[in-house]
Amino acid sequence: MQIFKVGGAVRDRLLGIPVTDVDRVVVGATTEEMLAQGFRPVGADFPVFLHPKTGEEYALARTERKSGRGYGGFTFHASPEVTLEEDLIRRDLTINAIAEDDQQNLTDPYHGQRDLEARILRHVSPAFAEDPLRVLRVARFAARYASLGFIVAPETLELMRQLSESGELQALTAERSWKEISRALMEDQPQVFIQVLRDCGALKELMPEVDALFGVPQPEVHHPEIDTGLHTLSVLEQSALHKQPLTVRWACLLHDLGKGLTPEEEWPRHIAHEHTGLNLIKAVNERFKAPKDCQELALLVGKYHTHCHRALELKASTLLELLQSFDVYRRPQRFEEFIGACEMDARGRKGLEQRSYPQADYLRGAAQAAREVAVQPLLEKGFKGPELGEALKRERLKALKAYKDRASA
């Protein structure tokens, strides 16, 4: 029995960056031998075990053969006869197909070290094209390592293009797709993920609503970058630079979908794109079964982001309606995330990345003014039920008018 570290643990150590997950492959062992040593089996698909003391994963060396569509369409074979090289060849990228023993001796049959030095994301073998999930994985790695200068090898991008055109991407489950998308959005350069998907034709298959934004112009006076797709990439980039959470990054990706529906004769204006985009946002949310908080924020940002940009001009009654829509009294964090997404939208414009965004603090102040309206005095006056709600609304409107007066003084 021989045990090797493989995958990300080896790759990231060689790159000199922190190692988070450690995967190990066991060569020359049987399931019975692993169980006899106290390893606990996990997963029904193939033999993976948890170490009895550390809880880390150990997988028996295995080969795989395509047997159906999609990510799950594989037959696995694990036995003591499977060699380390046979196990490594089934992996996606050469930089993930390097093994390391306890003395840090490397086994690198597919030249992963060479590609690490050249900053290339290259597939290990033609079998890469059998697994559609790898399109998303490679795009995610491109986003993760873009700051180190990594690019996707042209021949790998071509295989990704063939996969995209084959219809195999449609066989991916929502859960598997969302796992890759959400992880990619949390990388340092999530815009690279979207760009790579677009370069290989996968964006058109997975998110045609986002792909449709490229080539759609906006008024240059507000958007010096003009192209709506490029603007979306810039907004995503800003969301990562400002360390925004996943909810905000997802909303940033989807906020302008309505502009993809604007008839060409109306370009570069996009009247009411906030409302026309809502059904598209709903469709993308449902397609990937995004978590509820991501879904809600994406819809709210899509509907109200121009309200945020015009916050200083809004009437007190419109301000109140905005605050009510977000339920700022019970869910203050959601409103804060909305403000964050809108600020990223404002900063995601060519040459305007550093421009101040006074609307953010103005809206925070408005929310605070509305929250400070006390309910108790209204109860003491005998208001209850629907009448109490109306009285509270009137008092909050009064407070917002006073806030606006103070802010403009």
Residue by residue, pLDDT tens for the chain (409 residues) are 899 999 999 999 999 999 988 899 999 999 899 999 999 998 666 789 999 999 888 999 988 765 455 455 556 678 888 999 999 999 999 999 999 999 999 999 999 999 999 999 999 999 898 899 999 999 999 999 999 999 999 999 999 999 999 999 999 999 999 999 999 999 999 999 999 999 999 999 999 999 999 999 999 999 999 999 999 999 999 999 999 999 999 999 999 999 999 999 999 999 999 999 999 999 999 999 999 999 999 999 999 999 999 999 999 999 999 999 999 999 999 999 999 999 999 999 999 999 999 999 999 999 999 999 999 999 989 888 999 999 999 999 999 999 999 998 7
Give strand pairing partners of 42. 48
Sign of CA dihedral 240, 308, 250, 323: positive
DSSP classification of residue 39 = P
DSSP classification of residue 268 = T
**Alpha-carbon gap, residue 99 to 384, rounded angstroms:** 70
3-class SS at 195? helix
3-class SS at 48? strand
**Alpha-carbon gap, residue 74 to 78, rounded angstroms:** 13
**Alpha-carbon gap, residue 152 to 162, rounded angstroms:** 15
Q: Are 23 and 8 in contact (CB under 8 A)?
A: yes
Q: What is the CATH number of domain 1-111?
A: 3.30.460.10
Model pTM score = 0.92
Give strand pairing partners of 3. 26
Distance linking the first and last C-alpha atoms of the chain = 78
Q: What are phi and psi of 45, to 5 degrees?
A: -75, -40
Interacting residues of 213 by C-beta distance below 8 A, sequence separation 6+? 228, 229, 231, 232, 256, 257, 259, 260
